[in-house]
Amino acid sequence: METLLPKFDSVFSIDCVIFGFDDGELKILLIERNEEPFKDWWALPGYIVEQDESIDHAAERILYELTGLRDIYMDQFYTFGDVNRHPQGRVITVAYYAMIRLNGNKELKPVSNYVSKAVWTSVNDLPQLAFDHEKIFTRGFEKIRNKISYQPIAFELLPEKFTLTQLQQLYEVILNKKLDKRNFRKKMLNYGILKELDEKQKGVSYRAAKLYKFDKRKYSKLFQKELTFGK
Amino acid sequence: METLLPKFDSVFSIDCVIFGFDDGELKILLIERNEEPFKDWWALPGYIVEQDESIDHAAERILYELTGLRDIYMDQFYTFGDVNRHPQGRVITVAYYAMIRLNGNKELKPVSNYVSKAVWTSVNDLPQLAFDHEKIFTRGFEKIRNKISYQPIAFELLPEKFTLTQLQQLYEVILNKKLDKRNFRKKMLNYGILKELDEKQKGVSYRAAKLYKFDKRKYSKLFQKELTFGK
DNA sequence: TTACTTAGTGTAGAATATACACACTATATT
DNA sequence: AATATAGTGTGTATATTCTACACTAAGTAA
């Protein structure tokens, strides 16, 4: 490979804002750093892209190393490239977000040793974060808030079978406002992307609610359509 | 500055998809490369980010060097990081789009000598492009198509004073469909973000249309609101 | 059996979006 | 002067979507 390219003292990294929903709370995954700079600080999970891997691959790899999770819906949302965002050199970071299904199991097993631990933290209760990670988080949160308004990404966060009330709670948390129960149900059911199951919620000490499933097929039909601008 | 960071043989670049509207056609700015690789090929304007400049700054600088334009509405939209996208090494590129007001003057004066010339090309009539630039263009075009559906970015492309017909034509080109004149006007005027002027179009051989101006203030009020999800 | 908690449901009025047809005005051409 | 052309400009009826609002039903726990 020729190298007409100028030499450049720089690094690419990936940072991930990984959302989960649990206990009626929206959470993100934070790690405690075990390396300078910002040793012992909380940070978004992220690491350096390797020389011979694509950034999408790096994002998947890093998420896997930190959580053991694969095949997660992940999307790039912004690239942060201020000169001084990293105290040790020029690091441009590509931020991804992911939404994962907690299903009650919240244990996280960091593999890489640059992390002491990884925990789920409510977005309403975040500690101070290393680097410009607060900025990155904020932008990622805006992104999903925005996106959920026109695409039902919420399903990524819920267990496979869920109640309408859970779905509504999730919308409320992300949009940060109360929604009307009847209107919410009407709208969701009208989309026709929910499959009503013959099952009910279990283990609750009150009337059990019906469970629903997300119907991916019908979803794609509905939302692949062009955005409308009437005729 | 310590350098605990691993050494990495890599480069960041910026590529720009610069839209303009002229003659009822949506165009983008292409350059003819004067450098290997892809010498004499058409490409999106783009170049390497310098060691000590932020990526946003680089984007502005590069646009300026190629067009002499400043203070352009510009937005990052995606970062392309496949391993082999550049034949000479690892180059991750951050793509920006810009929308500029042609106002009839289409002359472009490239400053940098890695460019032989720069021209406006209709998006319906693009030549083959260097690198993965076709992919970048496509994604950028999707981006504005999407965005125009919920934000009136179209004004960036029109002259300061424009007719409703021009505005509609622009929407039609970007959305790639015919719109109903009456409904379009009603909708646009209802937003209340257009200021009707006391002037009319000049130099046309038919009934002159009223000119309008975009009212930025009212715009921010209207569109800063949260995206709606009812109550 | 009672008390408690959440599930589940309908409707009317308001606002918005869509569909549709024709007259007017200015200029260029003959 | 007559005519053709091309684009401006308007109103109304209908369909759809959005919003506001409160009670009963079902299940569990004591």
Span B7-15, average pLDDT: 81
B 193-212 near A (Cβ less than 8 A): none
User: Is A226's pLDDT higher than 50?
Assistant: no
| pLDDT recorded at residue B10 | 76
Span A71-77, average pLDDT: 86
Nearest to B33 by CA among B121, B132, B114: B114
User: Is strand D in 7 Å reach of the CB of B182?
Assistant: yes
Tokens linked to A164: 């309408």
Of A89 and A85, the structure prediction assigns the larger pLDDT to: A85
Of B135 and A151, the structure prediction assigns the larger pLDDT to: B135
Indicate yes or no: CB of A83 within 8 angstroms of CB of B175. no
Q: Say which CATH architecture domain A12-148 belongs to.
A: Alpha-Beta Complex (3.90)
Determine the topology of domain B10-148 in CATH.
Answer: Nucleoside Triphosphate Pyrophosphohydrolase (3.90.79)
- pLDDT, tens only, A125-144: 999 999 999 999 999 999 99
CATH number of the structural domain B160-224? 1.10.10.10
CA angle A4, B132, A94 (to 5 degrees): 85
Percent of chain A with pLDDT over 90: 59
Nearest to B78 by CA among B42, B149, B34, B132: B132
Identify the residue whose tokens are 């690491």: A47
**Domain regions of chain A by residue span:** 12-148, 160-224
Q: Does A49 touch chain B (CB under 8 A)?
A: yes
Residue B40 confidence class, pLDDT cut points 50, 70, 90: very high
The phi, psi pair for A224, rounded to 5°, reads -75, -20
CA angle B101, B105, B108 (to 5 degrees): 95
Residue A1 confidence class, pLDDT cut points 50, 70, 90: very low
User: Is A95's pLDDT higher than 90?
Assistant: yes
The phi, psi pair for B19, rounded to 5°, reads -95, 145
| pLDDT recorded at residue B224 | 54
Pairing of strands A10-22, A25-33: antiparallel
Strand D nucleotides below 7 A of a protein CB?
5-12, 18-22, 25-29
Spanning CA of A164 to C1' of C2, the rounded length in angstroms is 29
* Residue numbers in A near B2 (CB within 8 A): 88
